[in-house]
Structure 1
Amino acid sequence: MSGVVSIIGCGFVADLYMRSLQAMDGITVAGVYDKNATRLAQFCDFWKVPSVESLDALLDRHPRDGVVLNLTNPSAHFEVNSACLAAGCHTYSEKPLAMSVADAKALHAQAQAAGLMLASAPCSVLGEAAQTFGHALRNGVAGIPRAIYAELDDGFVPQAAYKKWISESGAPWPFEDEFRVGCTL
């Protein structure tokens, strides 16, 4: 696999990815697309990366041995991931991979049938808590799970002045516009 990536979506999280991509030698950004032309121009100007005028154009010019990063909002993940796979592109999606298990399974089948790699932000699965729990399960330390419960502790965010948060290139924190009208198709 080459060190070439293309990016779809220029919201708040895209800046976090760009900071990481710049810290790694040998990675080139082939193109960036966002349906919001103003946001696209602002992001590409700030990071000095090439913009692309449409999703189709990005997928057409993306090297087949590179990876497309889907950084759109969650409601667009299934559609964008499916389009990337249909174009023959290895795809890495921000979480969640899709909004339903059925859609995630459909994407998996699509990638497998095409011989493509498909991944979704592995930090949750590969993080310390999940790995420790997995190790405990595999080694019989945790016993047999009878129920699994998860909760999002978002206490800090509602209390914070998140409406004033701006990324390095000027994108607002995603709780406002990005989830409603941001970088979707």
Structure 2
Amino acid sequence: MLIDCPPSLDILTDNALVAANGLLIPVQPNNTSLRALRLLIEQLAVVEEELQLPRRELYGLVPGIYRRPLSGIARYKMEQLEQYGTPEDPSIAPLPILAHLPLAAVVEEAWLSGETVVDYKPAAPIADAYRRIAVRLDLAAGLASADEWDRLPPLESLVADGAERSSASVGGN
């Protein structure tokens, strides 16, 4: 079961954190979203500790709702997201980037047609991103093997070498 919550830290989010086994965290490459990410991680730790719950698995981050090409500030913030939880900051659990979901007209077109993006335009890059997320969640649920995840092509960095597309990989592939 996938529980979707509004972007706020309230009782609904706390209830979802208690009910969930793991978290897939959508983020945007901006200050507010990075601050909210840190607050969410802190809130999760508090809920787990106070209710003596087992640790929730942090599946990863999914940056979305950004324009391409990335602006200077968005590029800087995306770089921070790509480095979130790396060994340079051991106080934070590693959070790989699972897929990129930039603004895309095909998402609205699919919605207007009453179809999923994957059904509406299966060859669209954003459809591949949704499939990556599905494989990761299937893996967490025991419905896919680690080999299936490992066979996916590495996720490309959007900021490596100052270029928006690069051969550097992010996201634990």
Same fold, TM-score > 0.5, yes or no = no
- Higher-Rg structure is 1
Structure having greater relative contact order (Cα 8 Å, sep ≥ 6): 1
TM-score, normalized by length of structure 2? 0.29
TM-score, normalized by length of structure 1? 0.27
